[in-house]
Chains A and B, each alone.
Chain A
Amino acid sequence: MSTQHVALTVNGEAREADVEPRFLLVHLLRDVFGLTGTHIGCDTSNCGACTVHVDGESVKSCTMLAVQADGAEIRTIEGMADGAALHPLQQAFWDQHGLQCGFCTPGMIMQAAWLLDQNPTPSEHEIREGISGNLCRCTGYVNIVKAIQQASGQLETGESAPVEAAETIEAAPAS
């Protein structure tokens, strides 16, 4: 099967590869470029774990061919932090305990980043609607929503949910 040459920018860096047309963008990122922060979850465009930005739009990279991204600017979770300094969304997921197993987190953060690009101060409803294409099976979403609220400046950084939860447990009588 013949291959096609693709040239694209990933997290500000020019990258090239020769790929079969059937090769998916998520495999190009993970298996060719070694950017394994983008996860493959359902592989059926439901779960959103593979969400990346293509020319500023959030997309599910398991449902895009690598050849469709020829010439595009891609941003992945690896492109979010500035050196050792976490991106405000990464910091907020940390502060608010917006993850448990962490599998959905890269996609969740990329989708949240796109949402905040579109709408810098979304309501809770708009946040929930904005991440409706990203599934988390651990958290119940409450702390994810809080993290996005924190990153959008709508929640004090110190208002940490895990601390409140810990206090509640300590206050409970021993059984």
Chain B
Amino acid sequence: MIPAPFDYVRPADLDEALRILTEREGEAKLLAGGYSLIPLLKLRLAQPGLLVDLRDVAGLDGILWTDDSLRIGGRVTHRRIRDDEGIAARMAVFHDAAGLIGDPQVRNRGTIGGSCAHADPSSDWPAVLCATRATIVCRSAAGSRSVAARQFFLGTFQTAIEPTEVLVEIAVPLPKGRAGSAYRKLERRAGDFATVGVAVQLRLGDDGRIAEAGVGLTAVGEAPFAATDAEAALTGAEPGEAAFQAAGEAAAAQSDPADDSHGPADYKRAMVAEMTVRALRAAAERSTTPQGGPQ
């Protein structure tokens, strides 16, 4: 399969990339790893007039820690996130999800920013960003703005990013105190898009109860979303089976899956409940370590 013709440029820096996006607004598409975009080009579902390759643009591939946040550059590959020991120890939900995306070759090339901007409704990162209450930093020639992940994913392949913006960074707030997180994905075959994906984060208060909960779901709606009813069911509860089962049922009730080749909607709803419980168990177990890492 051969894509339709397009022009191709490789700007030297972000300013040049932003200028091109402004000049060719609506016509240009950004290219990072290409593992979301090139399949669409080959199927001719996307036919942009111009591809702007971010390969030479510096400043998009950092993994940085501040006192209260983890900041991941838009062009960081899934593999680098998977291999990052700090992320494995402190934000395990990112480690979990990165290892479940596609296959090794896809993880070598595909990027977190590209995946989020592409916004496949079954992709893994959006659920993680919703659960961890991350923000997405978008830059245009006019300046930067931060969009909460929960407001960023609008629909199937639709996000809040403007055609003149580059997704430069994902900022993840670090939970204070005892916390744990996990991602659990049901897939038909290794490397498939999720049938159901559930990302969770729990922060425990001094009394051992759940002080704050984040639950993000993927593949069971037009866009990934935060299962706010499940979060409400968890907040203030003792971390344990009763609360986890209640949260699973709330997440299932809030999901709106479609019947498709992955299974009928009622099956998927049942799987949302089960995968939510499994993710919560893992997150609770991890929250017993001081930094929220795997045991």
Contact = CB atoms under 8 A, between A and B. Distances in A.
Contacts, number: 79
A133 B104 contact: yes
A75 interface: no
A2 B106 contact: no
Contact of B8 (A43, A65, A115, A132): A65
A130 interface: yes
Interface in B11-47: 31, 34-35, 38-39, 41-42
A2 B5 CA distance: 9
B190 interface: yes
B3 A22 contact: yes
B102 A133 contact: yes
A130 B104 contact: yes
Contacts of B102: 133
A141 to B, nearest CB: 12
Given A133-B103, A133-B104, A21 B39 contact: no
Most chain A CB neighbours (cut-off 10 Å) among B3, B39, B105, B108? B105
B191 interface: yes
A32 to B, nearest CB: 14
A115 B8 CA distance: 32
B109 A64 contact: yes
A149 B45 CA distance: 42
Nearest to A115: B104
A111 interface: yes
A64 B39 contact: no
B108 A64 contact: no
A136 to B, nearest CB: 13
Most chain A CB neighbours (cut-off 10 Å) among B41, B55, B108? B108
A20 to B, nearest CB: 7
A58 B105 CA distance: 6
Contacts of B3: 22
A175 interface: no
B161 to A, nearest CB: 22
Most chain B CB neighbours (cut-off 10 Å) among A2, A43, A44, A133? A133
A165 interface: no
B4 interface: yes
A134 B108 CA distance: 14
22 contacts: A21-B5, A21-B6, A22-B4, A22-B41, A43-B42, A44-B1, A45-B39, A45-B105, A45-B106, A46-B191, A48-B105, A57-B108, A58-B104, A59-B105, A60-B109, A65-B31, A68-B31, A111-B104, A111-B105, A129-B104, A130-B104, A132-B104
Query: What are the nearest 4 A-B pairs in CB distance?
Result: A133-B103, A21-B8, A22-B3, A57-B108
